[in-house]
């Protein structure tokens, strides 16, 4: 291993720069090279030095312009230069960020790297909204799952285990497959009336929210035409959203019948 670590896998959090750790903020500003994902908020990219080399390696559904093995090679190549390199990932590097694969590739090539954790989207969005991920009498646990598979293969999730009314389910990157996800959860026993909240561009000025239920969320999300990252919170804790003191007027309610006085849309 090299004596001095010059490669850092940094969690950029859910989007709000104020939610960065102190260490993440410092490294982003000091970095000589920043290799960043598509989901890193532009507000955070503004912290990068204008003199730093920026390399965009973002992926999206069915489009992977820089495959993972190429990202690994980039990290190794920059590690060889000795320049302070930040691999910047939305949320936390080890929560659906493939950070562990990149760390392993670096270490196998003889380079040390340091992991700088970030607030993952589930924590950041739920806290900002005021919905607890667990709540006595509503949810005894929480599970995070990814809504798409490697190389866009068919989803192969533990549907029986996920369809648990006592568990809050948080789906990352699920926009393309939310129809299948909701159908399978209903098939395995989760009621169609299970509350769902979709959060688009969470914790940023572009945040949008969509409150629906499991039977209607796919059609409602399609109608909303979200742009950017979407997180789906599924479970009975979403019922607390109406009582949340942090609930703003930026919520859309589509796909379910609700009293008019509860519907607030912010363009």
Distance of CA 124 to the CA centre of its chain: 9
Q: Which residue has the tokens 């691999």?
A: 87
Catalytic residue among 16, 89, 92, 173: 173
Domains, the chain, in order of start with CATH, read 7-116 (3.40.1010.10), 121-262 (3.30.950.10)
Task: Report the percentage of the chain scoring pLDDT > 90.
Answer: 78
29 close to 144: Cβ distance less than 8 angstroms: no
Question: What is the longest distance spanned by two Cα atoms in the chain?
Answer: 63
Catalytic residue among 16, 59, 92, 164: 59
- Convert the pLDDT of each residue in 159-194 to its tens digit: 999 999 999 999 999 999 999 999 999 999 999 999
- Convert the pLDDT of each residue in 249-262 to its tens digit: 345 544 444 334 33
Q: Has 253 been annotated as catalytic?
A: no
Banded model confidence at residue 245, pLDDT cuts 50, 70, 90: low
Q: Residue 155's pLDDT is what?
A: 81
Higher confidence at residue 236 or residue 2? 236
Residue 242 CB neighbour total at 10 angstroms? 12
- SS3 for 228? coil
- Convert the pLDDT of each residue in 126-149 to its tens digit: 999 999 999 999 999 999 999 876
Question: Which pTM was predicted?
Answer: 0.85
Which region, left, alpha or beta, applies to residue 208 given φ > 0 means left and ψ of -120 to 50 means alpha? beta
What is the distance between the alpha carbons of residues 82 and 32, in angstroms, rounded to a whole number?
10
What is the distance between the alpha carbons of residues 60 and 176, in angstroms, rounded to a whole number?
10
Catalytic residue among 37, 92, 164, 213: 37
Q: What are phi and psi of 236, to 5 degrees?
A: -70, -20
Q: Has 227 been annotated as catalytic?
A: no
Statement: residue 109 has pLDDT above 90: yes
Q: Which residue has the tokens 């859309």?
A: 252
Q: Has 152 been annotated as catalytic?
A: no
């Amino acid at each position: 291993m090299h004596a001095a670590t010059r490669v850092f896998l940094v969690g950029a959090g859910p989007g709000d720069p104020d939610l960065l750790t102190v260490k993440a903020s410092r490294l982003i500003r000091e970095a000589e090279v920043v290799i960043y994902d598509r989901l890193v908020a532009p507000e955070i990219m503004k912290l990068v030095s204008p003199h730093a080399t920026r390399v965009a390696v973002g992926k999206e559904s069915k489009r992977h312009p820089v495959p993972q093995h190429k990202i690994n090679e980039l990290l190794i190549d920059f590690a060889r230069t000795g320049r302070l390199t930040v691999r910047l990932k939305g949320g936390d590097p080890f929560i659906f960020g493939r950070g562990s694969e990149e760390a392993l590739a670096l270490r196998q090539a003889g380079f040390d790297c340091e992991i700088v954790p970030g607030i993952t989207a589930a924590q950041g969005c739920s806290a900002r909204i005021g919905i607890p991920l667990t709540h006595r009498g509503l949810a005894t646990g929480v599970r995070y799952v990814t809504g798409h598979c490697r190389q866009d293969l068919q989803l192969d999730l533990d549907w029986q285990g996920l369809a648990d009314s006592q568990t809050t389910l948080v789906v990352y990157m699920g926009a393309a497959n939310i129809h299948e996800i909701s159908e399978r959860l209903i098939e395995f026993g989760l009621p169609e009336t299970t509350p769902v909240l979709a959060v688009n561009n969470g914790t940023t000025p572009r945040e949008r929210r969509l409150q629906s239920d499991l039977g209607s969320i796919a059609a409602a999300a399609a109608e909303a035409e979200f742009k950017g990252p979407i997180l789906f919170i599924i479970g009975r804790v979403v019922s607390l959203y109406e009582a949340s003191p942090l609930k703003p007027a930026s919520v859309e309610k589509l796909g379910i019948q609700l009293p008019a006085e509860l519907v607030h849309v912010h363009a």
